[in-house]
Amino acid sequence: MGYTRMDVYSFLKAVREKRPLVHHLTNWVTIYDCAQVVKSFGASPVMAHAPEEVAQMVGLASALVLNIGTLTADFIESMKIAARAASCRNIPVVLDVCGAGATAFRDRKSSELLEDKHISIIKGNSSEIARIAGWDVRTRGVDAAHVGADLHKIATALARQRNCTVVITGKEDIITNAKTTYVVRNGSEILTHVVGTGCMATSVIGTFTGASPHDITAAAAAGLSCYEIAAELAVKKSSGPASFKQHLFDCIFHLTKDDVDFMQRVA
Amino acid sequence: MGYTRMDVYSFLKAVREKRPLVHHLTNWVTIYDCAQVVKSFGASPVMAHAPEEVAQMVGLASALVLNIGTLTADFIESMKIAARAASCRNIPVVLDVCGAGATAFRDRKSSELLEDKHISIIKGNSSEIARIAGWDVRTRGVDAAHVGADLHKIATALARQRNCTVVITGKEDIITNAKTTYVVRNGSEILTHVVGTGCMATSVIGTFTGASPHDITAAAAAGLSCYEIAAELAVKKSSGPASFKQHLFDCIFHLTKDDVDFMQRVA
Amino acid sequence: MGYTRMDVYSFLKAVREKRPLVHHLTNWVTIYDCAQVVKSFGASPVMAHAPEEVAQMVGLASALVLNIGTLTADFIESMKIAARAASCRNIPVVLDVCGAGATAFRDRKSSELLEDKHISIIKGNSSEIARIAGWDVRTRGVDAAHVGADLHKIATALARQRNCTVVITGKEDIITNAKTTYVVRNGSEILTHVVGTGCMATSVIGTFTGASPHDITAAAAAGLSCYEIAAELAVKKSSGPASFKQHLFDCIFHLTKDDVDFMQRVA
């Protein structure tokens, strides 16, 4: 498979020009990094989860990011209110099914969120998405477990079933709406040694789709490519997972058209 | 306007000698950085929010910091208990009205906290403070929106109305108790690209007023000047927002009398 | 006291080979660092606290870490469910009595957790452990206060009383199950200037005991030694508390047999 000259940079440019406000209901582990990745790309993060205000906060936002990493029953109820409000405004709603396949509670709450039909993009690692697609796999906490099946087929089937875009991140990222499929092969193995890089990827998808809502599948692929190009630049300057994370934010902040045009590996 | 030779360093010295315990009820996004900024200045942070213990924890503290960034109704009730306990002990209570003007819920809860009359210092960016002062402005999530009015007048009016000190942070910081006004012009544009620098500023105000409760308006100005001098030193060593934040903590830790005496820009 | 050639490295090797899943119910201040320290050692962290799922998540884990830093009554109930599930599976349960001695609420909730008899290791600083052992000391928020008594005797008495392992961290760490006692003298003074280093130590104990459950007292000592050797390596590269923390994670990630064999100071 060759690499198409998708105009990835135009999506980055849109983020920097429009500076979308990206409203998050996310987990307490990586919440800072989710905010900082949005800010490093030049956009504006806001985190708010009280049921009394989420709908109004969504009213200011260009995208909504939901991440169930440290879910509770109450928190999911706030997510439902926020997702409904986002859906009414036709802004993208990205759901990270973090830890799906680890517990029945996560599977059930993910299903509830999907049943409401307000989710634009479902994002997870291989075993999380396989589980959401109905496969009998067990995620190891929040780390991907082996899935003995074709991930492309799983992603496409889920996208068709839920009428949305599906993103599976991993060594290669699959982004599909069942009709069009992108594969992103940027990135670095070190991402797997840093807590929160998956959550940040979801926030990046929120940021890019918030700036380019006309084609959220392409925007998600472009966002992941930019994020992972920055990771490739950052790893060269790093001496381990923590210095990598710092360089990642700095490289995102300084990412140029040349970096993006030259390094993108989107098929 | 010239710069007075305020003895900023004496306030930093007081922090390092007294090592005040600064009790926080703050948001879940920047909670780590709020704690680390206090610790980097040589003081001691503690975060506790259970209604069963906040009053007793306040009993150990020299200052109380309240930040509504990720507020819920329950969390605000804990804040009220803590503020009452702090007020009984006459220790400074700093309220960061984070996101005021973004949702009616934030406006209402900020008002409730202010109605109890236990707040010593109200702190926010321009649109947050304008909103609290009754202006019809809309904060963009937690980022300042343009306020078409004289910020000095807004700050002074609010300080008089609420009988407290008001701090507006921005390119220049305004600190006023309606009688005395300080303007701090230290800092760097990069602070706006890092999540949590506003929350940290509030924790710094708690730290400095906790060590110098006899003049909280001057202490707040001195604290902001020190924090922003460290930012000026840090930005020179940085290659982006994340390396900046790391250097900021390190520079705070090593801040000298010479740095402070030479670089302070307080009018 | 001389230093025994305890085979510290074999415990590190076990962590890297078995990659234990370490389930945390911890505080919101240092939750990211707790996760990242586990990951940097090559193991797998997961954070989950909903009462509906903690038992099932424990079912996947090799160790359970409980930290009461930002406790609430509900959160403690989730901890009890998780501890019971862990106990049924005979996996180590490490309790960090963070802030015990600061408020009656913390003392009471710590006692409740201990009364259930599922805790394998109680960990704290000197005044926290002294308080749990029944001494009339007052912790200063989450910072150790002076304890005018022999810490070895306190640790041993508590270990006997609660039939578990007790860890007191400080300039020297005491690890005892009343029969065997280890003292670790690795580390650096800078650890006291960084928020979360105590919490991370607890996560390290969870990680090492999860990989070597046959001797949790030795595993805890070995884990602390490795963590503090990395701190000794990191401090040499650092210019303050924040760059230290970054280097700490990187040094943990790269820690070699030679580092460990040469530098361990376990008696």
Amino acid B85: pLDDT: 98
Test the B interface: residue of A70, A246, A248, A254 with most B CBs within 10 Å: A246
Mean pLDDT of chain B: 96
When pLDDT is averaged across residues B77-89 and rounded to a whole number, the result is: 98
Report CA C190 to chain centroid distance, whole Å: 18
A105 vs C23, C35, C52: nearest CB: C52
Contact check, Cβ <8 Å, B194/A36: yes
List all residues 6 or more positions away from B21 whose beta carbon is below 8 Å from its beta carbon. B43, B44, B45, B46, B60, B61, B62, B210, C140, C141, C143
Cα–Cα distance measured from residue B222 to residue B199, given in angstroms and rounded to the nearest whole number: 17
Q: Please, which pLDDT band fits residue C2 given cuts at 50, 70 and 90? A: low
Q: Please, which pLDDT band fits residue C107 given cuts at 50, 70 and 90? A: very high
In angstroms, what separates the C-alpha of C49 from chain A's closest C-alpha? Answer: 7
Q: Which residue of A has its CA nearest to B196?
A: A32
DSSP state string for C124-158: EEHHHHHHHTT-----BTTB-----S-HHHHHHHH
Token pair belonging to C231: 């701190």
Q: Which chains border A (3 or more CB–CB pairs < 8 Å)?
A: B, C
Q: Which chains border C (3 or more CB–CB pairs < 8 Å)?
A: A, B
C3: in domain: no
B23: in domain: yes
Looking at the predicted structure, is the pLDDT value of residue C1 above 70? no
Report which DSSP code applies to B103: B
Cα–Cα distance measured from residue A173 to residue A117, given in angstroms and rounded to the nearest whole number: 24
Looking at the predicted structure, is the pLDDT value of residue C265 above 70? yes
In angstroms, what separates the C-alpha of C250 from chain A's closest C-alpha? Answer: 4
When pLDDT is averaged across residues B59-82 and rounded to a whole number, the result is: 98
Looking at the predicted structure, is the pLDDT value of residue A147 above 90? no
B76: in domain: yes
Cα–Cα distance measured from residue B52 to residue A43, given in angstroms and rounded to the nearest whole number: 39
Amino acid (one-letter) located at C146: H
Looking at the predicted structure, is the pLDDT value of residue A46 above 80? yes
A56: in domain: yes
Q: Please, which pLDDT band fits residue A143 given cuts at 50, 70 and 90? A: confident
Among B110, B98, B112, CA closest to B70: B98
A263: in domain: no
Which stretch of B3-12, B93-102, B107-116, B224-233 has the lowest confidence by average pLDDT? B3-12
> Which is higher by pLDDT, C144 or A122?
A122
A242: in domain: no
> Which is higher by pLDDT, B97 or A145?
B97
Amino acid A2: pLDDT: 63
pLDDT in tens, A97-108: 999 999 999 999
Q: Kindly list the residues of chain A whose beta carbon comes within 8 Å of any beta carbon in chain C.
A: 27-30, 32-33, 69-73, 99, 102-106, 138, 140-143, 193-196, 238-243, 246
Amino acid A171: pLDDT: 93
Mean pLDDT of chain C: 96
* E-state strands within chain C: 21-25, 44-47, 63-67, 93-96, 121-125, 165-169, 173-176, 181-184
C2: in domain: no
A229 and A259 in contact (C-beta within 8 Å)?
Answer: yes
Q: How many cross-chain Cβ pairs, A to C, lie less than 8 Å apart?
A: 92
Looking at the predicted structure, is the pLDDT value of residue C149 above 90? no
Mean pLDDT of chain A: 96
Looking at the predicted structure, is the pLDDT value of residue C41 above 70? yes
SS3 call for B65: strand
Cα–Cα distance measured from residue C5 to residue C267, given in angstroms and rounded to the nearest whole number: 8
Q: Please, which pLDDT band fits residue A1 given cuts at 50, 70 and 90? A: low
Looking at the predicted structure, is the pLDDT value of residue B96 above 60? yes
Cα–Cα distance measured from residue B236 to residue B214, given in angstroms and rounded to the nearest whole number: 35
> Which is higher by pLDDT, C1 or B97?
B97
SS3 call for C175: strand
Q: Kindly list the residues of chain C whose beta carbon comes within 8 Å of any beta carbon in chain A.
A: 21, 23, 28, 31-32, 35-36, 39-40, 44-50, 52-53, 56-57, 60-61, 245-251, 253-254
Alpha helices in B71-147 (DSSP H): 73-88, 104-115, 126-132
Which stretch of B93-97, B147-151, C17-21, C22-26 has the lowest confidence by average pLDDT? B147-151
pLDDT in tens, A218-235: 999 999 999 999 999 999
Percentage of chain B exceeding pLDDT 70 = 99
| CATH number of domain containing A94 | 3.40.1190.20
C154 to each of A18, C118, C219, how far by Cα in Å? 61, 21, 21
Contact check, Cβ <8 Å, C240/B249: yes
Q: Please, which pLDDT band fits residue A258 given cuts at 50, 70 and 90? A: very high
pLDDT in tens, B164-204: 999 999 999 999 999 999 999 999 999 999 999 999 999 99
Among B196, B97, B101, B190, CA closest to B140: B101
Which element (helix H / strand E) includes A176? strand A173-176
Token pair belonging to C105: 């609420």
Amino acid A149: pLDDT: 80
Percentage of chain C exceeding pLDDT 90 = 91
Amino acid B76: pLDDT: 98
Q: Which residues constitute the domain of residue C71?
A: 8-263
Contact check, Cβ <8 Å, B57/C143: no
Count: domains in chain B: 1
C1: in domain: no
Amino acid B1: pLDDT: 54
Among C47, C41, C54, C129, CA closest to C84: C54
Q: Kindly list the residues of chain C whose beta carbon comes within 8 Å of any beta carbon in chain B.
A: 27-30, 32-33, 69-73, 99, 102-106, 138, 140-143, 193-196, 238-243, 246
When pLDDT is averaged across residues A112-129 and rounded to a whole number, the result is: 96
Q: Please, which pLDDT band fits residue C176 given cuts at 50, 70 and 90? A: very high
Looking at the predicted structure, is the pLDDT value of residue C3 above 80? no
Which element (helix H / strand E) includes A125? strand A121-125
Amino acid B142: pLDDT: 85
Among C267, C259, C193, C206, CA closest to C228: C259
B71 and B109 in contact (C-beta within 8 Å)?
Answer: yes
Q: ipTM value, please give it.
A: 0.96
Amino acid B2: pLDDT: 64
In angstroms, what separates the C-alpha of A94 from chain B's closest C-alpha? Answer: 19
Among A29, A72, A33, A30, CA closest to A51: A72
Amino acid B5: pLDDT: 73
Q: What number of helices (H) and strands (E) belong to chain C?
A: 11, 8
pLDDT in tens, C208-226: 999 999 999 999 999 999 9
In angstroms, what separates the C-alpha of A160 from chain B's closest C-alpha? Answer: 34
Amino acid C146: pLDDT: 83
Return the sign of the alpha-carbon dihedral for residues C219, C225, C230, C234.
Answer: positive
Angle at A35 between CA A32 and CA A39, to 5 degrees: 135
